[in-house]
Amino acid sequence: MHINEIIQILLYIILLVLLAPPLGKFMAKVFQGEKNILTPVFGKFESFFYKLMRIDPKEEMKWTTYLWSVIIFKLMGMVIVFLLQITQGWLPLNPQGLPNVHWDLALNTAISFITNTNWQNYGGENTMSYLTQMLGLVVQNFVSAATGFAVMLALIRALVQRQGKTLGNFWVDMVRSTLYVLIPLSVILAIILVSQGVVQTFGSYVTVQTMQGADQVIPLGPAASQIAIKQLGTNGGGFFNVNSAFPFENPTPLTNFLEMLALLLIPAASVYAFGKMIGSKKQARALFAAMLIVFIIGLGVSLYSEYSYNPVLSTAHNMEGKETRFGITNSVLWSVATTDVSNGSVNAMHDSLTPLSGMVSMVNIMLGEIIFGGVGSGLYGMLVFVILTVFISGLMVGRTPEYLGKKIEAFDVKMAILAVLIPSAGILIFSAIAVSLNAGLSSLGNNGPHGLSEILYAFTSTAGNNGSAFAGLNGNTIFYNLTLGVNMLIGRFGVIIPVMAIAGSLVKKNIAPASSGTFATDTPLFVVLLIGVILIVGALTFFPALNLGPIVEHILMLHGVSF
C-alpha cells in the first residue's frame, strides 16, 4: 500500500468519527419533535401533510398497531412498484421504449426495494424506464430507509419510557425521517455529484462512434438523485448495471470518497442520536466503539488478503475485477463499508475478490449487518445483540440482566434469539435447496467452492437486506427471483417483528435505578463482551458453510488452484 492510501483510510475514519455526533444530535432533535435548523423550511409543509392525510401527530400507537402500520405500508409499496414495472411499456418517461418487466423479475424487484435490499437481477439501463426508476425505486429508497428509522425509534422509546403503553406514531416518524434527514442530505449530495459529472437528465440514450468505428450506446438518465439516496439510505440499487464502477455513477476520486462516506454516515450518526435520546453519551460511545472495532478488523483482513501474493495470478496485487482508476484500496474499502451496512452498491466485482476478502464481505452481512448496519436497522440489530450480551453476562456473574434500567426477561431473550436465527435460517436453508436442485446449479458461473460461495453470498445478501452480489450467479430465473424474494421478506420482517415485540415488552416495564448489582453496559469490558458474542454467534452459525466455500477456496488458491 502507498502512504496516500493509508492517509485516505485514516481520513475516512476520522471524518466518520467527527461527523457522526453533530448529525446524530440533529437527528435526535428531529425524532423528538424539537425545533431544529430546518423547522422554518419544512415545518409548515409537515403540518400541511398531516392535515392532508388526516394524521393526528399527537396520537400514539401500541406496538401491535405500529407494527401493522409498517406491514400495511410496505405491502402497498410492493404492489405499486410491481404494477409500475409490469406496465412501464405503456407509461410515459420511457424514451428508450423499454418493454414491460416480466412478472417474476418485477415481483423480485418490488420486494427488493420495499425491504431496503435493492438486490438487482437486471441491468438498470436496459430494463427500467425513467418513470419506474423515479416513481418506484427512488421513492422506495426514501421510505424503506425511513421505515428502518421508525422501528429504531419505537425500540428507543420503549427503553426510555417508564411503564408506558405506546411507542409513538409510525406515520409521524416516517414523515420526519424523510423530510428533515433523508431529503436534505440527498439534495446536498446529489448537487455535489452532478457538479462532478454524474448524469441527471431526462434525455434519451446517445449513440456515439468509437475509435474503432463501431457504434456504442451511452445510457443516460436521472441518475444523481437516485445515487445520493441509495448511498445515504443504505439502499444500494445501481441506476446502471455495473453500479458505482460506472463513470456516470461515480466519475471522480471525490465522488468515490463521498459515496463511501455516505454509506456509513447516517448509521453512525444513529448511534449518537440514540445516546442523545436516552440521555447517555457513554452508552452511544460503547456501541460505536464495538461497531468501529469490528469494521477495522474486517478492513484489515480484506486489505491483507488483496495485497498478499496470489499463486494463481502470480502477483501480490489482485486487480482482477477492479477499476484501475480506483485501485485495490478504494475497492476493498468500499466492499467492506457496503457490506457493513445494508447497502450493496459496489465499485468493484465481489466475485473477483480473493477468497478471504469475499468471506469478509459475506461475514459482515451474516453477522446481521450490525457493524453500523442499515439506516435504523443497524442500531436495532445491534441492540438485539446487546440484549443477548446482557443476558449472557448476567448468567456468568449471577446478576439480574438489565439494560438502561429495564429488566431483560425470558420473552425479550426469546425474541432476540428469533431476530438472530430467522435470517440465518433463511440463508442456510435456501442455500441448501439451491445446491440440491438443477434450477439452482444451472445459474452458476463457477464450479467448486467458489460456486458454493456465489450461492451462499446471494442468499446471505438477500436475507441481510444488503443487495450486493458475487455477480457470477445469474439470478434472473424464476427459481432465484422467487426464492431470493421470499428470503428478502424473511430477512426484513423476521427481524422487525421480534424487535417490535421486544419494544412492546420493554415499554411496559419500570426503569430500575442503577445499583451495585447492575452490570455496566458502557465500559470497555462490555464492548469486548459484545464483540465476542457477535463473533461467536456468527462463527457457530456459519462456520461449516464458510469452511466449504471461501476457506477451502483460499487453501486451494495457495496451491495454485482456481475455480
pLDDT value at residue 241: 86
Rounded to whole angstroms, how far apart are CA atoms 5 and 3? 5
Grid coordinates of 145: 430507509
Contact 477, 412 (CB under 8 A): no
pLDDT value at residue 399: 76
What DSSP character marks residue 182? Answer: I
Return the bridge partners of 222, or none. 200
Phi-psi region of 201 (alpha: psi -120 to 50; beta: other; left: phi over 0): beta
The residue to which cell 482482477 is assigned:
320
Rounded to whole angstroms, how far apart are CA atoms 7 and 386? 33
Give the residue among 490, 431, 487, 428 at the shortest CA–CA distance from 455. 431
Rounded to whole angstroms, how far apart are CA atoms 91 and 87? 7
The residue to which cell 445459474 is assigned:
443
pLDDT value at residue 540: 85
By DSSP bridging, strand 406-407 and strand 215-218 are unpaired
Rounded to whole angstroms, how far apart are CA atoms 292 and 193? 27
The sign of the torsion formed by the CA atoms of 55, 118, 239, 337 equals positive
Residue 34 CB burial class (10 angstroms; 0-12, 13-18, ≥19): exposed
pLDDT value at residue 288: 96
The sign of the torsion formed by the CA atoms of 174, 177, 180, 185 equals negative
Rounded to whole angstroms, how far apart are CA atoms 109 and 137? 9
pLDDT value at residue 97: 92
Rounded to whole angstroms, how far apart are CA atoms 63 and 507? 9
pLDDT in single tens digits along all 563 residues of the chain = 789 899 999 999 999 999 999 999 999 999 999 999 999 999 999 999 999 989 999 999 999 999 999 999 999 999 999 999 999 999 999 999 999 999 999 999 999 999 999 999 998 888 999 999 999 999 999 999 999 999 999 999 999 998 889 999 999 999 999 999 999 999 999 999 999 999 999 988 999 888 888 888 899 999 999 999 999 999 887 888 888 999 999 999 999 999 999 999 999 999 999 999 999 999 999 999 999 999 999 999 999 999 998 888 788 888 888 999 999 999 999 999 999 998 889 999 988 899 999 999 999 999 987 889 889 999 999 999 999 999 998 887 777 789 999 999 999 999 999 999 999 999 999 999 999 999 999 988 888 999 999 999 999 999 999 988 887 889 999 999 999 999 999 999 999 999 999 999 999 999 988 777 778 899 999 999 999 999 998 878 999 999 999 999 999 998 888 87
The residue to which cell 437486471 is assigned:
122
- Residue-wise over 295-329: b if at least 16 C-beta within 10 A, else e? beebbebbbebbbeebebeeeeebeeebbeebbbb
Domain residue extents for the chain: 19-276
pLDDT value at residue 520: 86
Q: Which amino acid is at 537?
A: V
